[in-house]
């Protein structure tokens, strides 16, 4: 009679559960056989698979036992049902721990794990022990297919289960920023699926599908998250960037050191023919796959090797360098960087930029590798932070222009000024240009910065009566790199037109900091701007390449001597017995005489002492600039300063030769 009931009433339920069991076994086999990084999440997922298999096995056993012995005359049937309920509770909270592993540190995870273990042990003990809880089998005659169990054990199971599901949902909402969106979606979908199947089984008691929902959820998690499709490089079989991120993130949570060796491809690899390159890389990939001392990741055309805990860089580097000699494509066309702890990287995208930063030092070392030390790392993060400040300043118009007055030694007044850029931070502080200009030049933001400064300078000359103030022009800085931009002259001419500015008040200051490798573009820009009445100063003469070709190629009206050259001159002035210093003095004196013969005005920067002004005045220098007279001032301070010191200046004051030449 029992056999007939099994065949007619419960066979399709058992069939469904067996399908779930088969799905779970397939996932287990696939997951065990795939390449792993041995991180905690992988171990957790295997435990989840095993628990699901246990639940499905117990569910099949309980279904058969309840059909054969609906009154629990056999104590084994009673315990099987209780064990099934306990396993169901464990599986739900196992999912919660899986999610907790993604959002918490190792310490928080461990504490939570043991607290849950104690709580679940008590709950499962209550469910399993017949003396503490009831478990009543109720077989309703629905064509002999209904097997339904209820009692205090069932209440404890489902109550704890729904509490766990609710907790998982709350965790997925509260900590959604700490977990990848794809993972959150997968976990939530699993919980919704589970809840839906449970409600369906409650109302349609002939369906035993709750445990089957576990296998479906497991399948979703495997396909969307745990399959290696997203973490393996298809060509090499090594882990890819996604795999690297997962591994480092777990090491960061566990606060464990993560030493890496990075092999960066050099440009010279491009000259190798494709066949030779492919064969060489394939051989090296096989070597990496067999090596047990590190996990290997292929990122773009480069490699990241994460050292395992049983080896250190000092132990492995000599042996590794010797090993790669057998792979010429690697030893010849890749350069090695070492980082003592990858978890110092602030986010998953900073490794490549850090390596690029360190790559600048390749030609500065005779070693076979470069160690990325704390100093390089700190500089790297400082650069990233400043880049962010520059972007924000440009976006929110926090680019501030300061003006440093320039003293005219002939008229004894302040007849011009240099516009100097500052960046205002969130707390109202100002960053000096030395902190951000080099970075802006490197990443290309210098173009936008200087355009904003130039626009503000144009507005200043338009909004203020320059002649009444006694000002002949304002200098605005312009790098050689900008002058190599083919659109530069058009942009600046458009800015002047938009502001309706008189170009005689504009002087563009060109820094002598690069070779004239784009001569045609540069000279074309200068010619077009010159035709509009703009004048030019050659800044920082005496630094950089000190190439007289600058004076020839650039139609400069003013030559500015750098502070370092001024300091060197006065060092020689104070030390007449120092032959080297005396040569420096003669070079500067000769240069001044030469530029004066070319009818060029001369500005000396960095003047801080009265004796410097007196000596330079006797030498025929036209202007001086420096803290002797004034530091850089805000716009309002600058206007007040000029009005105070140029009091009584009339518009008919004779302007220097530079201006007369420009007007002609």
CATH number at residue 102: 1.20.1070.10
Range(s) of the domain holding residue 362: 232-372
Tell me, yes or no, whether 263 and 407 share the same domain. Answer: no
Q: Both 324 and 419 in a single domain?
A: no
Q: Which two tokens stand for residue 200?
A: 């369906």
Q: Are residues 412 and 525 in the same domain?
A: yes
Q: Are strands 399-408 and 623-625 parallel, antiparallel or unpaired?
A: antiparallel
For the ranges 55-64, 80-89, 290-299, 434-443, the one whose mean pLDDT is highest: 290-299
Rounded mean pLDDT, 36-49 = 82
The answer, yes or no, to whether residue 195 has pLDDT greater than 60, is: yes
In this structure, are 495 and 530 located in the same domain? yes
CATH of the domain at 419: 3.20.20.450
The string of DSSP codes covering 342-373 is GGGSSSTTHHHHHHHHHHTTGGG--SSEEEE-
Residue 379 placed within a domain: no
Helices (H), 444-479: 446-463, 466-469
Domain boundary among 196, 229, 262: 229
Residue 390 lies in a domain: no
Q: What is the pLDDT of residues 261-285, one digit of tens each?
A: 888 887 666 667 778 888 888 899 9
**345 located within any domain:** yes
Mean pLDDT in the chain? 80
DSSP letter assigned to residue 468: H
Is residue 387 one of the residues assigned to a domain? no
pLDDT digit string, tens, across residues 218-247: 888 887 766 655 677 777 888 888 888 888
Q: Is 582 exposed, middle or buried (0-12, 13-18, 19+ CB in 10 A)?
A: middle
Are both 75 and 139 inside the same structural domain?
Answer: yes
Residues 355 and 281 in one domain: yes
**Residue 600 CB contacts under 8 Å (≥ 6 apart), including other chains:** 556, 557, 558, 559, 658
Statement: the pTM of the whole predicted model exceeds 0.85: no
**Residues 91 and 224 grouped into a single domain:** yes
384 assigned to some structural domain: no
Contacts within 8 Å (CB) and 24+ apart, 398-401: 398/423, 398/424, 398/425, 399/423, 399/424, 399/449, 399/452, 399/453, 399/456, 400/424, 400/430, 400/634, 401/453, 401/456, 401/457, 401/460, 401/635
Domain limit, last residue, from 212, 229, 246: 229
Of 229, 253, 281, the last residue of a domain is: 229
Task: Answer whether 444's CB lies under 8 Å from 487's CB.
Answer: no
- Write the pLDDT tens digit of every residue in 453-489: 999 999 999 999 999 999 999 999 887 677 778 888 8
101 burial type by CB count under 10 A (0-12 exposed, 13-18 middle, 19+ buried): buried
Q: How many structural domains compose the chain?
A: 3
Instruction: Give the pLDDT score at 664.
Output: 30
User: In the block, which residue shows the tokens 């890749």?
Assistant: 334
**347 and 437 share one domain:** no
Q: Which two tokens stand for residue 178?
A: 């700490």
Q: Residue holding tokens 């779970």? A: 24
Q: Is residue 391 part of a domain?
A: no
Q: Are both 244 and 333 inside the same structural domain?
A: yes
CA distance readout (Å), 464 to 397, 502, 635: 21, 12, 11
Within a domain: residue 380?
no
Same domain flag for 161 and 46? yes
Q: Are residues 242 and 216 in the same domain?
A: no
140-157 pLDDT, tens per residue? Answer: 444 444 444 567 887 887
Write the DSSP symbol of residue 9.
Answer: I
Same domain membership, residue 254 and residue 188: no
- Report if residue 461 sits inside a domain: yes
pLDDT of 123 over the 70 cut? yes
């Amino acid at each position: 009679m029992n056999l007939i009931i099994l065949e007619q009433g419960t066979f399709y339920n058992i069939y469904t559960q067996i399908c779930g069991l088969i799905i779970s076994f397939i996932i287990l086999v696939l997951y065990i056989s795939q390449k792993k990084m041995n991180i905690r999440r992988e171990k957790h997922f295997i435990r989840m698979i095993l628990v699901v298999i246990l639940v499905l096995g117990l569910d099949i056993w309980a279904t058969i036992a309840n059909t054969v012995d609906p009154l629990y005359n056999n104590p084994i049937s009673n315990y099987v049902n209780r064990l099934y309920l306990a396993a169901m509770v464990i599986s739900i909270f196992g999912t919660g721990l899986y999610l907790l592993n993604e959002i918490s540190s190792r310490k928080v995870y461990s504490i939570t794990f043991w607290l849950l273990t104690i709580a679940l042990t008590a709950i499962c003990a209550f469910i399993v022990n017949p003396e503490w809880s009831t478990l009543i089998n109720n077989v309703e005659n629905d064509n002999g297919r209904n097997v339904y169990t209820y009692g205090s054990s069932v209440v404890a199971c489902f109550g704890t289960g729904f509490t766990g599901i609710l907790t998982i949902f709350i965790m997925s909402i509260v900590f959604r920023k700490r977990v990848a969106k794809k993972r959150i979606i997968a976990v939530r979908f699993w919980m919704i699926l589970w809840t839906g199947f449970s409600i369906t089984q409650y109302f349609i008691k002939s369906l035993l599908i709750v445990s089957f929902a576990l296998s479906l959820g497991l399948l979703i998690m495997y396909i969307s998250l745990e399959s290696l499709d997203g973490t393996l490089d298809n060509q090499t079989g090594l882990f890819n960037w996604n795999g690297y991120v997962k591994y480092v993130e777990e090491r960061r949570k566990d606060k464990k050191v993560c030493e890496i060796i990075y092999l960066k491809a050099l440009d010279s690899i491009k000259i190798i023919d494709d066949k030779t390159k492919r064969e060489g890389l394939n051989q090296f990939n096989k070597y990496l796959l067999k090596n047990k001392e590190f996990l290997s990741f292929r990122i773009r055309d480069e490699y990241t090797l994460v050292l395992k805990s049983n080896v250190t860089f000092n132990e492995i580097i000599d042996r590794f360098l010797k090993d790669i000699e057998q792979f010429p494509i690697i030893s010849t066309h890749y350069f090695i960087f070492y980082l003592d702890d990858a978890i110092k990287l602030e986010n998953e995208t900073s490794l490549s930029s850090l390596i690029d930063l360190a790559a600048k030092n390749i030609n500065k070392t005779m070693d076979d590798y470069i160690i990325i030390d704390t100093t390089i790392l700190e500089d790297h993060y400082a650069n990233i932070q400043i880049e962010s400040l520059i972007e924000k300043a440009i976006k929110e118009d926090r680019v501030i222009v300061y003006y440093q007055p320039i003293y005219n030694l002939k008229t004894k007044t302040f007849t011009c000024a240099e516009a100097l850029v500052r960046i205002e931070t969130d707390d109202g502080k100002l960053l000096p240009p030395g902190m951000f200009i080099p970075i802006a030049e490197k990443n290309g933001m210098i173009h936008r910065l200087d355009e904003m400064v130039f626009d503000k300078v144009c507005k200043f000359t338009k909004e203020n009566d320059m002649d009444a103030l006694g000002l002949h022009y304002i200098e605005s800085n312009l790098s050689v790199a900008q002058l190599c931009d083919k659109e530069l002259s058009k942009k600046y001419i458009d800015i002047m037109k938009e502001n309706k500015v008189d170009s005689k008040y504009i002087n563009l200051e060109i820094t002598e900091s690069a070779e004239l490798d784009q001569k045609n573009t540069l000279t074309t820009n200068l010619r077009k701007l010159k035709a509009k009445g703009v004048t030019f100063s050659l800044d920082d003469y005496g630094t950089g390449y000190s190439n007289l070709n600058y004076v020839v190629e650039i139609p400069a009206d003013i030559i500015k001597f750098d502070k370092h050259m001024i300091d060197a001159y006065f060092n020689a002035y104070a030390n007449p017995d120092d032959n080297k210093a005396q040569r420096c003095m003669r070079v500067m004196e000769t240069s001044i005489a030469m530029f004066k013969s070319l009818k060029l005005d001369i500005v000396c920067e960095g003047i801080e002492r009265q004796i410097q002004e007196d000596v330079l005045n006797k030498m025929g220098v036209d202007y001086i600039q420096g803290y002797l007279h004034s530091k850089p001032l805000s716009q309002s301070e600058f206007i007040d300063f000029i009005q105070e010191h140029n009091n009584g200046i009339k518009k008919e004051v004779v302007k220097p030769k530079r201006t007369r030449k420009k007007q002609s």
